[in-house]
C-alpha cells in the first residue's frame, strides 16, 4: 500500500528552484533512502513533506490525502514526524522535557505521553539514564538519539530522518542505523536523507538519487548499489 506519493514537486527559494518536478513514492513498511550531494534538494524535499515550506507546484499525498496546503502541526497529527538535520534539541531543557515536547499532539490522550516515552527509553536506554540531564550537555550521538526519540513521541506512521549520521563517529553511526532498522521493524515507515550512501542503501528497501533538485536515479536499493553511476559518484567505485 502506498503511504506517501509525491508528484511533480517544485520548491523555490527567492526564485531559485531547489526541487524541480520531483516524483517519488514510499510504501507502507519501507525504508526509502533519498540520496545526493549537498545542495541537491534532499532536505528541502523533507521540509516540503512536513509542511515547513510550501511547494510552488506539485502534489503530496498521504494515503490519498493532499498535504500541499495542510499546516505543519496538522501533518504531525496525521502521522508524519520530521527529525531535522543538526538535531536541534532544546539545550536548556532536560532530556525528558525535550521528549515531552515531541508528544504535544497527543497530550490530551490519557497515558499516551508516558507510553510513548517508555517506548523511546526501550529503544534508547541511555536517554533514560540521562532523563534529568540538560540536553545541551549530551554528546553528539546522544543528542541524535534524543532528536529521533522526540520524533517518535508523536507515534508517527512515517518518520522523515534528515542526516542522522552527520558528524558522528563510525561506532555511533552503526548504532543509529541499527536503531532505525528496529524502528522500521516496529512498524514505522522511514524516509531517510543520508550522506552515507553505502550504509543507507544497505538499510533501505529502495532509494532515490537527486541531482540539482531533479530525480537522477531510483529503484531497489540492491540494484542502486550495483549501478555504475551510483558506484562512481557516491560509493567510491565499490558496492
- Do 134 and 228 belong to one domain? no
Query: SS3 of 123, please?
Result: helix
Please state, in angstroms and as integers, the Cα–Cα distance from residue 98 to each residue in 86, 110, 141, 147, 219, following that order. Answer: 15, 19, 16, 8, 37
Q: What is the pLDDT of residue 109?
A: 67
**Which residues fall within 8 angstroms of residue 129, CB to CB, at 6 or more apart?**
none
- Pull the grid cell for residue 92: 536548556
Q: What is the pLDDT of residue 229?
A: 85
Instruction: State the angle between helix axes of 140-152 and 95-102 in degrees (0 to 180), rounded to the nearest 10.
Output: 30
Task: Confirm if 152 and 116 have CB atoms less than 8 A apart.
Answer: yes
- Ordered per-residue pLDDT tens for the chain, 239 residues: 899 999 999 999 888 899 999 999 999 999 999 999 888 999 999 999 999 999 999 999 999 999 988 999 999 999 999 999 877 898 999 999 999 989 887 766 667 888 899 999 999 999 999 999 999 999 988 999 999 999 999 999 999 999 998 888 888 899 999 999 999 999 999 999 998 899 999 999 999 999 999 999 999 999 999 988 888 777 655 54
Please state, in angstroms and as integers, the Cα–Cα distance from residue 48 to each residue in 69, 134, 147, following that order. Answer: 10, 31, 19
Closest CA to 138 of 180, 100, 178, 96: 96
Q: Over the Cα atoms of the chain, what is R_g?
A: 17
Q: Does the residue 139 lie in any domain?
A: yes
- Do 200 and 150 belong to one domain? no
- Do 70 and 175 belong to one domain? yes
Owner of C-alpha cell 540538560:
134
Reading across the β-sheet that carries 214-220, which strands appear in turn? 80-83, 158-162, 189-193, 31-36, 206-211, 214-220
Q: Does the residue 9 lie in any domain?
A: yes
Q: What is the CATH number of the domain that holds 25?
A: 3.40.50.300
Query: Using the 8-state DSSP alphabet, how is residue 111 labeled?
Result: T
Q: Does the residue 85 lie in any domain?
A: no
- Do 225 and 168 belong to one domain? yes
Q: What is the pLDDT of residue 110?
A: 66
Q: What is the pLDDT of residue 202?
A: 94
- Do 229 and 166 belong to one domain? yes
Q: What is the pLDDT of residue 61?
A: 96
- Do 207 and 219 belong to one domain? yes
The whole domain housing 145 covers 92-154
Q: Does the residue 212 lie in any domain?
A: yes
Amino acid at each position: 500500500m502506498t503511504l506517501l506519493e509525491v508528484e511533480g514537486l517544485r520548491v523555490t527559494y527567492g526564485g531559485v528552484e531547489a526541487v524541480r518536478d520531483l516524483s517519488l513514492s514510499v510504501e507502507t513498511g519501507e525504508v526509502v533512502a533519498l540520496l545526493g550531494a549537498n545542495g541537491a534538494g534532499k532536505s528541502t524535499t523533507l521540509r516540503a513533506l512536513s509542511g515547513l515550506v510550501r511547494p510552488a507546484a506539485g502534489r503530496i499525498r498521504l494515503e490519498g490525502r493532499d498535504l500541499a496546503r495542510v499546516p505543519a502541526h496538522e501533518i504531525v497529527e496525521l502521522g508524519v514526524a520530521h527529525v531535522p538535520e543538526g538535531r536541534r534539541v532544546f539545550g536548556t531543557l532536560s532530556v525528558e522535557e525535550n521528549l515531552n515536547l515531541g508528544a504535544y499532539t497527543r497530550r490530551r490522550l490519557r497515558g499516551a505521553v508516558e507510553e510513548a516515552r517508555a517506548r523511546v527509553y526501550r529503544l534508547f536506554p541511555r536517554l533514560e539514564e540521562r532523563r534529568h540531564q540538560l540536553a545541551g550537555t549530551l554528546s553528539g550521538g546522544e543528542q541524535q538519539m534524543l532528536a529521533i526519540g522526540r520524533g517518535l513521541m508523536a507515534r508517527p506512521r512515517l518518520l522523515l530522518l534528515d542526516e542522522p549520521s552527520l558528524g558522528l563517529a563510525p561506532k555511533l553511526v552503526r548504532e543509529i542505523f541499527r536503531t532505525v532498522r528496529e524502528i522500521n521493524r516496529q512498524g514505522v515507515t522511514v524516509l531517510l536523507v543520508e550522506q552515507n550512501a553505502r550504509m543507507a542503501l544497505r538499510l533501505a528497501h529502495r532509494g532515490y538519487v537527486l541531482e540539482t533538485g531533479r530525480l537522477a536515479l531510483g529503484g531497489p536499493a540492491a540494484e542502486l548499489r550495483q549501478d555504475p553511476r551510483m558506484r562512481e559518484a557516491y560509493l567510491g567505485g565499490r558496492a
